[in-house]
Amino acid sequence: MAMNNAAKSVEDRYRHGDLDFETAVREVTGADLGREFFARIVHGLAAEGPAAPALSEHDAELLAGAGFVTDPAAATAARVNRDIRMQDLVRSCLSVNDAAQRLGVTTARIRQRLTDGTLWAFDSGRNRLLPPGQFTETGAVPHLEKVLPLLGKDLHPLTVQALLTQPQPSLTVDGGHPVSIVAWLTGCAGTDAEIEQAADVIAAADWESV
């Protein structure tokens, strides 16, 4: 008996022609990515040329976890994956005005903190965008201003967001459960020694640009 569409994976449905590429990506990511976004990806691939660069360790791990093998298509898949994740990050970032409202300060204060390194932003077109991992729903992540200045200035925005929000093996709670820097600072850290543990993670991180 043929497998019905509801029982098929998105990958199977795409392979069999039941979904176009844009719809398949939308179902997998939950993001409503339009034709203009994919046109930018095509433009980027064309600009980089057919000679695929070597995969970074970060992207290689992502592909291995998803079941890819290193073949001529793997680097392209990594680049598309990176572009989709970057698009998601840009949509979730705060502008300088948004950050000022979130923290209850002036935009001048936000710019000063960016200069001091106690907040982190990247340029996107004419805008400066602040990755959301630096903020709670109502304000700033506690104590983050004490560790953010240790971040490298040339880190990729995806690297910064991941470093702040992904579980870190050296930050553990409940008998060994790893938590992110943000979770550690928000729910765990209170003493200077505990804050220093989060600072050590950032200082020791040797992340490749994604």
What was the pLDDT predicted at 193? 87
Give the DSSP letter of residue 18: S
Paired strand residues for 168 = 179
Which residue, among 121, 150, 28, has the nearest Cα to 81 in the 3D structure?
Answer: 28
Exposed (0-12), middle (13-18) or buried (19+): which is 95, by Cβ within 10 Å? middle
| Whole-Å CA distances, 40 to 51, 84, 184 | 19, 11, 37
SS3 of 158, please? helix
**What average pLDDT values come out for the chain (210 residues) when binned by 10 residues?**
54 85 78 70 64 54 58 65 84 95 96 95 91 91 91 85 91 89 83 88 63
What was the pLDDT predicted at 54? 52
